[in-house]
A and B are shown apart, each in its own frame.
Chain A
Amino acid sequence: MECNVIREKLSAFLEGAVSPEEKRLIGEHLPACQDCSDALEDLRKTEVLVKGLEKVEPPAWFKQKVMARIRAKEEAKKSILHKLFYPLHVKIPIEAFATVLIAVAAIYIFKAVEPKMKYTAPLFPGPVALAPEEKAIPKKDLSPGAKGDLARSEHKRDKGVITEGKKSAVAEVKEGELKIEPSKPLQGESPSEPVLAKKEKSIEPRHEKVAKAAESPKPKASLSQLPSLGPPTKQEEIMASKGAGKEITWELGATGHPVSVAAEKKAGLMGITIHVMDIKMAREKTENILGQLGAQKIERKSLQGTEIISAELQAEKIKDLFEKLVSIGEVKEKGAPSDIPKGNTGIRIEIVRNH
């Protein structure tokens, strides 16, 4: 074995970590090589010096200090967790309960508000059209099926679609019935093409049509859309009918909102728009005029800078109403007074600021 190989093994040789064969070879080499023997001796002395290094003791305070630092960190961590989650087993159920409570409250509030929303929208009352027809139908003529339909209609009204006032207003329309063509055929036809009313011998199909019209979303058009209707392009045709009285059908312009206007007509509801400078004063004057004319069930609403007054007035007094309203501002009517049926008529007066 070469000296350099032997010296590489000397460290392991000292620890007894060489194979027996290596141990024998090194043992044979060392007495013959002074340098390698000296190297081994130096290694032994080095080992003695290193192993002679005294063990040091940690300071007495060492553990205390380490644990104090650990506890301080633990406390800081706990305080963060405390703020966020403590007491975990109580807070999570509370949060869950609160969430459920909010959800339930939201559903109840929504349900409570919903009828009001329905109530506001039908100021353009598609569904009101049901009333005169239903009231006009002599009960003796009703087939069992028709009675059933009527009952369903009554049920719908009970849900708040029709106001009490309107019900009573249409109740007095005894001499005839209004009929409106359903919106579907109207959409398919040219605007200029007149739509003719057809006599309905049976009550049931007519009732169904009206019910469809009532369900159609168009009659629920918002109030703000009405003033933009422009000059009426509708043409009405009243045809005498047997038994049930008159049937009214409207030809409607393409630019307007035909169904809502038609619905207004068929309901016996009269729309009047007054353009004024001072809405508040005009409202008071209008209410006074209505009071003087003996109008009933005067209701007032404010909607987006527009005052809306609805009331019931005897048909004979409508002309007087127009004359008096002219003194307040510029009056535009949406239904000719001649169209108004006899008896009490629903009137809706919109007071709009004049720009």
Chain B
Amino acid sequence: MLGDEDYELVCLSQKGDVDAFGALVERHQKNMVNIAYRMLGDYEEACDVVQEAFLSAYKAIRKFRGDSMFSTWLYRIVINISKNHMKQMRVRLQREGPSIDVPIETEEGHLKRDPPDPIASIAEQFEKKEIQTKVQSCINSLDDEYREVLVLRDIQGFSYDEICDILKIPDGTVKSRIFRARESLKDRLKKAFGDL
């Protein structure tokens, strides 16, 4: 845990200092929410998942031995909870059928059922948002194992070593998954946008 900027706060939290853990929440909440959001594609759900992740982290913080960076440990928790959440969502969808919020697939890609946000009436904003929605929809359609490496590498910018630590998979596996994830995403984006 040497060189970990979270070291002191983690030690205090392990002794039961709730405020110290609050400081850690403050420090990592943005990354956590972004990881969860890009994994799930839904902001509200992402916030719920990150709350769960922080609660789990607080419960288990005494078991944290400092074998990796605290942030790595924390992101591993949020990735795992997000994956579990996605599995539950899929099971629910299979049982109940698609909800009105779930994007529907068309020949041109994924579309949201929601009507356009009235605030984004400006053409540029609308276009940008539309592009981001499409990209996120394409990410959402990736397999879990490709989605997580893509989010961690290309969206969050973690190094290969960090991704190996977070996902606990070998370096070669990370590289091959990233290659396949990008290839797969490229194909889906081409399909969604017509031409890149």
Contact = CB atoms under 8 A, between A and B. Distances in A.
B30 interface: yes
B43 interface: yes
A42 B50 CA distance: 33
Cβ-closest 7 pairs across A and B: A45-B196, A58-B33, A11-B179, A46-B186, A50-B154, A58-B29, A66-B54
Contacts of A70: 18, 21, 54-55, 58
Given A8-B179, A46-B196, A62 B47 contact: yes
Interface of A: 8, 11-12, 17, 41-43, 45-47, 49-59, 62-63, 65-67, 69-71, 73-74
Contacts, number: 94
Given A12-B175, A46-B185, A54 B154 contact: no
Given A57-B30, A66-B25, A70-B58, 19 more contacts: A11-B179, A11-B182, A12-B179, A17-B175, A43-B182, A43-B186, A46-B186, A46-B189, A49-B196, A52-B135, A53-B132, A53-B136, A56-B46, A58-B29, A62-B50, A63-B29, A66-B50, A66-B51, A73-B55
Contact of A74 (B18, B33, B178, B189): B18
Interface in B21-42: 21-22, 25-26, 29-30, 32-34, 37-38
B190 interface: yes
B127 interface: no
Given A46-B182, A67-B22, A70-B58, A55 B154 contact: no
A61 to B, nearest CB: 9
A49 B51 contact: no
Contacts of A55: 30, 34
B1 interface: no
Question: Would you call the interface of chain B mostly helix, strand, loop, or mixed?
Answer: helix
Interface string B136-180: 100100000000001000110000000000000000000100110
B183 interface: yes
16 contacts: A11-B179, A42-B190, A45-B196, A46-B186, A47-B182, A53-B135, A55-B30, A58-B32, A59-B47, A65-B51, A66-B50, A66-B54, A69-B55, A70-B21, A70-B55, A74-B16
A350 B140 CA distance: 99
A58 B33 CA distance: 6
Contacts of B189: 45-46, 49
Nearest to B30: A58
Contact of B38 (A52, A53, A57, A74): A53
A58 B150 CA distance: 21
